[in-house]
């Protein structure tokens, strides 16, 4: 009898063990991401890498993203198309590069004489900006996540001094976005040169002037070794957005918790990159100045002409594209209304 009881107990214990729920290990999902920038470019180069690290942390390594630099899969300016058609699941960009396909991306990338980073951040996430740009990306099967807010850029590097508006006429300049169209209105010959080719183009005389980004990034390109005049302010990009783009089929395949982790990781990225960039600019300016570069501001008359040309460009673009018009109206109204807070808080400096 005792043996029967022990046997029954053993069977019961075995049955209980088989019935008990076993821990389920989530299978990690891996994705490739290509940036339009080299990973060694200061600030923006490591940005998608840091984002991928944050996503892995927030998902307990259930989502792993391998970040590739410019050109590893496709040329930099083909990243959007590759993400759109699914050749690459994810990308990292400056949003304005895709203005040829999506006109409103030019405005969202940067608005000449537009809002500062603080206002641009508010408009993107609280003022309806993200909803407008996503409507433009939907037909291309792409999800956009704003992920890096660039501080005000420099006005650019010039081989000659800019004293009057006439000095811009015939100037061969690398400049992107709506600022390029404004410069063209004033007679400059503008072209878009990938970041990795700017130094060589300026060195070999293919261009006579170039803008790229803020001093921290410009210093990393070594442009202080060639150009002798470095101008401010960055009228063409007082703030600008770099973004994570995800193939929409890939995005929809992710559970909501992973989608949320990717967005939250971008919020963290924006915060880190903002204070990191602000801290780095004066160091870069001092190093550029030490290299013998003359740092100066555009004359007021030149800025006034650029402002007028920029306004004309944006109004013309708004006439051609409904979403551009919607974003232009929205961002202008937001900047005027919410910007009053900044105006009221402005403290005079001696």
Domains annotated on the chain, with CATH: 29-149+239-281 (3.40.190.170), 156-237+290-343 (3.40.190.10)
- Report whether 94 contacts 240 (CB < 8 A): yes
Q: How confident is residue 26, by pLDDT bands cut at 50, 70 and 90?
A: low
Task: Report the Cα 3 to chain-centroid distance in Å.
Answer: 74
CA gap 283, 293 in Å, rounded: 14
pLDDT for residue 208: 96
Higher-confidence position of 226 and 17: 226
Q: What is the pLDDT of residues 145-193, one digit of tens each?
A: 999 999 999 999 999 999 999 999 999 999 999 999 999 999 999 998 9
What average pLDDT is seen over the chain?
91
Residue 293, SS3? coil
- Give me the phi and psi of 295, to 5 degrees please: -100, 125
Q: Which long-range contacts (CB under 8 A, 24 or more apart) does 56-59 make?
A: 58/261, 58/264, 58/265, 59/257, 59/258, 59/261
HSE of 16, CA atoms in CB hemisphere, 13 A: 6
- DSSP class per residue in 315-343: HHHHHH-HHHHHHHHHHHHHHHHHHHHHH
CA gap 240, 107 in Å, rounded: 9
pLDDT for residue 102: 97
CA gap 202, 208 in Å, rounded: 6
Q: What is the pLDDT of residues 295-327, one digit of tens each?
A: 999 999 999 999 999 999 999 999 999 999 999
pLDDT for residue 16: 34
């Amino acid at each position: 009898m005792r043996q029967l009881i022990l046997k029954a107990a053993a069977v019961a214990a075995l049955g209980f063990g088989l019935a008990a729920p076993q821990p389920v290990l989530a299978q990690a999902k891996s994705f490739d991401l290509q940036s339009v920038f080299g990973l060694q470019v200061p600030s923006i180069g490591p940005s998608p890498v840091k984002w991928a690290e944050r996503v892995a942390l927030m998902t307990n390594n259930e989502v792993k993203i391998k970040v590739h630099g410019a050109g590893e899969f496709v040329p930099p300016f083909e990243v959007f198309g590759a993400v759109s058609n699914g050749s690459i699941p994810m990308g990292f960009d400056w949003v304005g590069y895709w203005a040829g396909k999506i006109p409103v991306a030019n405005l969202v990338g940067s608005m000449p004489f537009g809002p500062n980073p603080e206002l641009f951040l508010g408009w993107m996430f609280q003022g309806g900006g993200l909803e407008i740009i996503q409507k433009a990306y939907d037909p291309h099967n792409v999800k956009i996540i704003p992920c890096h807010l660039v501080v005000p850029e420099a006005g650019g590097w010039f081989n000659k001094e800019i004293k009057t508006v006439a000095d811009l006429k015939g100037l061969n300049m690398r400049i992107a976005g709506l600022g390029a169209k404004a410069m063209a209105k004033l007679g400059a010959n503008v072209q878009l040169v990938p970041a990795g080719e700017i130094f060589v183009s300026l060195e070999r005389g293919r261009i006579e002037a170039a803008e790229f980004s803020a001093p921290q990034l410009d210093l990393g390109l070594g442009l202080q070794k060639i150009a002798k005049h470095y101008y401010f302010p960055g009228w063409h990009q007082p703030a600008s957005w770099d973004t994570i783009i995800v193939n929409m089929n890939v995005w929809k395949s992710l559970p909501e918790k992973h989608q949320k982790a990717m967005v939250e990781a971008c919020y963290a990225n924006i915060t880190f990159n903002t204070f990191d960039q602000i801290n780095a600019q004066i160091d870069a300016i001092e190093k550029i100045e030490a290299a013998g570069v003359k740092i100066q501001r555009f004359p007021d008359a030149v800025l006034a002409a650029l402002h007028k040309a920029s306004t004309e460009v944006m109004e013309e673009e708004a006439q051609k594209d409904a979403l551009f018009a919607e974003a232009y109206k929205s961002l202008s109204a937001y900047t005027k209304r919410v910007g009053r807070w900044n105006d009221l808080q402005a403290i005079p400096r001696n």
